[in-house]
Amino acid sequence: MFGLSQVVSLAGHARDHQHAAEVQNHVLRLPVSYFDSTKTGILIARVMNDAEGVRTPSGTGIIQLVGGLLTAAVALVWLFAINWRSRPPRCWCSSRSAE
């Protein structure tokens, strides 16, 4: 799992670099009137928050999702195995009283 997280991390850094270059090219193509009408703080916050919003789910978020699903599956199988050994399953209809 460690090796997979390292590969995903390196791929994520390369994608982040490409995304940053695309954002920079887009911002440089904007007309001067856009910068006159938009506050600097709003522009900086928009660029930084958009980059962070893409970085987190697509990088380590995928690893955490897969790890969590794998852990849940193993726990579910383990719980069923423990329950099976302690008490064999019964049909729900066999516990009803005859009417």
Write the DSSP assignment of 54-92 as a string of letters: HHHHHTHHHHHHHHHHHHHHHHHHHHHHHHHHHS----G
Question: Which is more confidently placed, 99 or 47?
Answer: 47
Cα distance from N-terminal residue to C-terminal residue, the chain: 56
Residue-range domain boundaries for the chain: 2-86
**Highest mean pLDDT of the ranges 2-6, 26-30, 82-86, 93-97:** 26-30
Looking at residue 94, its pLDDT comes to 58
The pair of structure tokens assigned to 74 is 């193993």
Looking at residue 92, its pLDDT comes to 64
Amino acid at 34: Y
Q: What is the pLDDT of residues 26-75, one digit of tens each?
A: 888 989 998 888 888 888 888 777 766 666 666 667 777 888 899 999 99
* Alpha carbons 91 and 95: distance in angstroms, whole number: 7
pTM of this structure: 0.48
